[in-house]
Every structure is written in structure tokens, then in C-alpha cells.
Chains A and B, each alone.
Chain A
Amino acid sequence: MEPTALERALDQLDSAVASVRAAMEGMQAADVADAAGALAHGASGGAIDPFVFRLAIFVLAIFVGYYVVWSVTPALHTPLMSVTNAISSVIVVGALLAVGISASGLATGFGFVALVLASVNIFGGFLVTSRMLAMYKKKDK
């Protein structure tokens, strides 16, 4: 019997899972990056570099950002800056990897500095934004 599309898809999924497993076993501290990349690699039959998938996400997110930010009311442009500031501190995930699992003392040190800086930004950014937003009130009728 001819393999159906579903069966082919399942086969590809299997090979993707296998490649993730291989990637996981290959490195003790495997990063999501390479695993996700390997997954994409497997699903596409190995033809497309995982970088292309990340680039696709990046480009699409720029477009999402473009449309979402144009819809922000000018009155809230200051809170927009402080909240974008807070969310860009998601760079803290890099710091966590460096502090949590890095083998080198230097890297742990750099990671720790990054962790402290990003934490200042996360807490400071979100709290100051919520403080500002709490001030915007409608006319009492």
C-alpha cells in the first residue's frame, strides 16, 4: 500500500524526534537552540538550516511589532518605552544559562553581572510602567 501523507508526516516527525534525542545526547548541556534547530532540520528533511527558521520568526515579529506599535496611542508612548525596556530584559535567559550551568569561572562572573543588570531592568521596568499606567484616569462623570 502507498504510504499516506499522514504516514509520511509521522515518519518525518519520528526522524525529527530522533534528531532531537541525538542532539540531546551529543551535548550534556544541550541548548534549546540546537535542539529546536535540529528539530526543524529533521522536519525539513535536513535541507534547511535552522537559522532560516529563526530568521523567519524574526522577520515576522518585526512586522507584528510594526503593526502593534502603530496602534499604540501617543498618550502612552512613555509607558511603551518603559515596557519595551522591561521585556527586552528577557535577555536574562542568557544570563541564567551562564550562571546556572557554565563551567568557566569567568563566564559565571559575566553571567552574574548580566543577571543583576537584567533584574534591575525587569523589576524596575515593569513596576515603573504599572506606576505610570495607574495614573491614567478618565474624567469622573
Chain B
Amino acid sequence: MSANLASFLYLVSGVLFIMALRGLSHPTTSRKGNLYGMVGMGIAIVTTLVYATPSFGGFVLIVAGIAIGGGIGAVIAKRIAMTAMPQLVAAFHSLVGLAAVMVAAAAMYAPESFGIGTLGAIHAQALVEMSLGVAIGAVTFTGSIIAFLKLDGRMSGKPILLPMRHIINASLAIALVVLIILLVTTQSTTIFWLIVAASLVLGVLIIVPIGGADMPVVVSMLNSYSGWAAAGIGFTLGNLALIITGALVGSSGAILSYIMCKGMNRSFISVILGGFGGETAAASDDGIDRTVKQGSADDAAYLMANAQKVIIVPGYGMAVAQAQHAVRELADKLKAAGVEVKYAIHPVAGRMPGHMNVLLAEAQVPYDEVFELEDINSEFAQADVAYVIGANDVTNPAARDDKSSPIYGMPILDVDKARTCLFVKRSLGSGYAGIDNTLFYKDGTMMLLGDAKKMTDDIVKAMDH
């Protein structure tokens, strides 16, 4: 195979990847898009194998590697619960990061195979590209592992704030620049591993101070990093498929981070600096009457069965309680009784972009009943019941009305405008942001205290009476 043909085929696979993302503009075209992605990947792999013509031993190793990795990947993809999707995505990001580091290490020890010079005399430009790729890759690797541990509940979602952490991070970043310059001048593999080590530490330090509620931003940000790491390696190898993909993934993650930050009305910088979420605000004596109206499943069933329009507002709590199927059952019951049911999703509901949509899809809720914040917010005023299940901060009217609130300015779902707001909650504690929700004390709000799934099941049962 000629080099031109190989380059051309890499370009084809890059274009197929663009079409894969394009397909996601609508659920009906998305499945075809995913297929384009797989074909693109197939073309890239086959092209490399034909072009590089590995030795027999090399070929056996390649087949073994793909079989081992592919087998593990396929099993994970089949077994993973939909509620565990955020941690799975974080884990996959860490693999891309580590793979980038490993490819760079291979290029460092065998530059001839990659056409970037000879051992001890690697082109300076290739070294710079490679070190950028390896540094971002290593940050992605450890950062994603921390994100995984936090999302999986193996590590507290509370921010861990080291003293002088900004100074430590800044000096690590400066050290990285110095090390990259040293690498270019000395070509030393020791310096290469020092870059890896510094970046691994930096990845941990960047993610530990970020609280649980900011995880959607973190996951999107790491998505973006994994793209830039791939692009860095792509430049070293001069591979078009890798450069195009890196750019696509990098900008995709960046846009998602932007959307998530906007959904929380926070700047990207303030999220990265961390420390938000986890600290509990003391209940201040501000003259608000803190009496709540509590209700039972029977009350809720009565209210909903007599409503004309019910809007369901799911949040992270629904994912934790695995209540999505119970919610679907409830909606089916209501629809059978002639009630109009819609779902309203806040951009940052859950722990990653689109988290709630996937769970509802899993419970076979049709996607045309699920609406985004801008599309449904005006409808709460005409709704008889807003059923809030597992969401908290994204419904807090303080974000709209109270200028002194830390979440002031964050777009919220106007559930308080519905005639009755049924709020399912385990206890009367505050949400992840640690902010008191003034919605609880409003006249139109009825608190349903209990587990999200059990409460929904009870309401379904009560409706049968």
C-alpha cells in the first residue's frame, strides 16, 4: 500500500467519525452514526496493518492484544448498568489517557518505527508534540481515575482542599514546561518519565478539590482532554485520522463543559479552582417560616389522578434509587387515566450530560415526552402537578429570587409555578450544593419523605384503589 493511499484512507476514517457525531443530532439517525464510527475505526486499523505489514510474531501479538482488550470491553459494555454510565465513561477516559502515554513511550524507545528520527536523535518538533500528548494523557489518566472513584462512591464527593494547592499546581505546570525543554535538548528517557510523573500528580491535584455536584463539568472536561492527548500523539505520528479525531473529541468535550457550566451559572475557572459543594450552610434565621407540609403516597396519588397535566422532574436521586422504571409505571397509570404526562430535564441533572435521558430511555420512556429546560419551563404554570423525584438544587427558587444565594442566577426548572409541587426526598436535608431549598416551605409544595423508588411504587399502588 502506498503512503498516499494510506493517508487517504485515514482521511476517510476521519470523515466517517465526523459523520458518527453528526448522526447524534437525532435519535433516529444516531444508530447509523454509530455504525459509521465503527466502520471508520475498522478502516483505520486495517489500513495500519496493511501499510505497516507487521512480522508474523508482531501480527500474533496484535491479534492477541485486540482479542484480550476487545473481550474485556465487550463484556463490560454488555454487563454495565445504565445507572453506572458516568463512572464507566470516566473509566474509559482514563484508558485513552494511559494509552496515549504508552504510545508515546513506545515512540520514545523506538522512534524509527514511527519515522520520527532515531534513538537519541528524535526530531525536536516530534518531541514537543509527543510531550504535550503525553502530559495531557497522563493528566487525563489520573484525573479520570479520581473522577471514577468519586462517581462510583468509592471516594467521598466532598472536595479535598489542600493548603496552597494553587501554588502547587502552578509550580507543577511550570516544572512541566521546563522538563519539556530539557527533553528536547537532552533526549533523555529519564526526563520523559519525569514528565509523565509530574503530569500524573497534576491530574490528581486538579480533580480532588472538585465537589460531587460539579462532576458533569469534570467528566466533560476529561472527555475534552482525552481528545487533545490523542491529537498530540496524532501530530507526532502525522496521522490524519488521529489529528481529526483528537480535534473533534477535544471540541466536543469543551462544548459539553461549557453547556454544563452554563447550566450551573458558574464559570469554568471557578469549577476548576474547586471547593464548591460539600460544605453545609448553617440554617440561617432569615424570617422564612420553615414549616413544611408533608403528604403520603395516597395524597399524591389522589392529586395526580385528578390532574390534567403532570410534569415529572427527575434528578440524581432517581438514578441512585434506580427509580426510573417505577416512574415509567406511574406515568403509564396516569396516561391510562387521561392525564397528560411530560418529563422536564435540567442540563445538569445527574452526574454527566444527558444522564437522565439515558435512564428514562432505559425505562422505555419515549424520547418525545422528554423535554429540555428551555422547551418546557413555561409549561409549569399550566401544570397541575410537578413531581420532583431526586432533583433538588435545580428546582430551588432561591436561584431565581434570592440575590444573596450562592446559586443565584443558575437557570432552574420553575416547579414552584405548578399548582402543586410533589417533592420526593429522603429527608429534609439540603442538596449537593449544601443550600437550603426555599421550595420546601412554599404553600403549594407537599413533601413526600421516603426512598424515591419506594414512594413511587406506593403511589402506583395507591392509584389502583
B27 touches A78 (CB 8 A): no
Number of interface residues of B (CB under 8 A): 125
Find residues 94-141 in chain A having any chain B CB closer than 8 Å to their own CB: 94-104, 106-108, 110-140
Query: Does B194 have its Cβ within 8 Å of any Cβ on chain A?
Result: no
Given contacts A90-B241, A99-B62, contact A78 B54 (CB under 8 A): no
A116 touches B103 (CB 8 A): no
Query: Does B404 have its Cβ within 8 Å of any Cβ on chain A?
Result: no
Query: Which residue of B is nearest A70, CB measured?
Result: B255
Q: Which residues of A sit under 8 angstroms from B444, Cβ to Cβ?
A: none
CA separation between A70 and B22, bound complex, in Å?
Answer: 10
Query: Which residue of B is nearest A136, CB measured?
Result: B27
Query: Which residue of A is nearest B5, CB measured?
Result: A32
B368 touches A138 (CB 8 A): yes
CA separation between A129 and B355, bound complex, in Å?
Answer: 13
A90 touches B44 (CB 8 A): yes
Interface residues of chain A: helix, strand, loop or mixed (majority): helix
Q: Which residues of B sit under 8 angstroms from A68, Cβ to Cβ?
A: 18, 21-22, 248
Query: Does A64 have its Cβ within 8 Å of any Cβ on chain B?
Result: yes
Query: Does B463 have its Cβ within 8 Å of any Cβ on chain A?
Result: no
Query: Contact check: which of B72, B80, B231, B250 meets A120 at CB < 8 Å?
Result: B72
Query: Does B376 have its Cβ within 8 Å of any Cβ on chain A?
Result: no
A62 touches B251 (CB 8 A): yes
CA separation between A74 and B11, bound complex, in Å?
Answer: 28
Query: Which residue of A is nearest B28, CB measured?
Result: A138
A101 touches B103 (CB 8 A): no
A80 touches B354 (CB 8 A): yes
Q: Which residues of B sit under 8 angstroms from A29, Cβ to Cβ?
A: 52, 112-113, 115
Query: Contact check: which of A76, A125, A131 meets B30 at CB < 8 Å?
Result: A76
Looking at B99, B219, B233, B248, which has the most chain A CB atoms within 10 Å of its CB?
Answer: B99
Query: Which residue of A is nearest B68, CB measured?
Result: A116
Number of interface residues of A (CB under 8 A): 96
CA separation between A79 and B85, bound complex, in Å?
Answer: 10
Query: Which residue of A is nearest B11, CB measured?
Result: A57
A135 → B minimal CB distance (Å): 4
Query: Which residue of A is nearest B106, CB measured?
Result: A98
CA separation between A107 and B106, bound complex, in Å?
Answer: 4
CA separation between A101 and B345, bound complex, in Å?
Answer: 51
Q: Which residues of B sit under 8 angstroms from A103, Cβ to Cβ?
A: 110, 112-113
Contact flags B19-46 to A (C-beta < 8 A → 1, else 0) = 0111011111011011001101100110
Query: Does B247 have its Cβ within 8 Å of any Cβ on chain A?
Result: yes
CA separation between A133 and B27, bound complex, in Å?
Answer: 7
Q: Which residues of B sit under 8 angstroms from A111, Cβ to Cβ?
A: 102-103, 106
Instruction: Pick from B202-210, B264-272, B356-364, B448-456 the stretch touching chain A.
Output: B356-364
CA separation between A106 and B26, bound complex, in Å?
Answer: 46
A88 touches B68 (CB 8 A): no
CA separation between A137 and B22, bound complex, in Å?
Answer: 19
Residues on A close to B: CB < 8 A? 20, 23-24, 27, 29-37, 39, 50-51, 54, 57-59, 61-62, 64-66, 68-104, 106-108, 110-140
Given contacts A65-B18, A69-B252, A102-B113, 5 further A-B contacts (CB under 8 A): A76-B27, A84-B227, A96-B45, A101-B113, A110-B109
> 10 closest A-B pairs (Cβ-Cβ)?
A33-B238, A119-B69, A100-B54, A31-B115, A77-B354, A35-B3, A124-B73, A123-B73, A107-B110, A61-B247
16 contacts between A and B (CB under 8 A): A31-B114, A34-B115, A34-B116, A51-B125, A64-B247, A72-B24, A74-B259, A76-B30, A79-B30, A82-B88, A87-B20, A115-B66, A116-B69, A120-B72, A127-B74, A135-B361
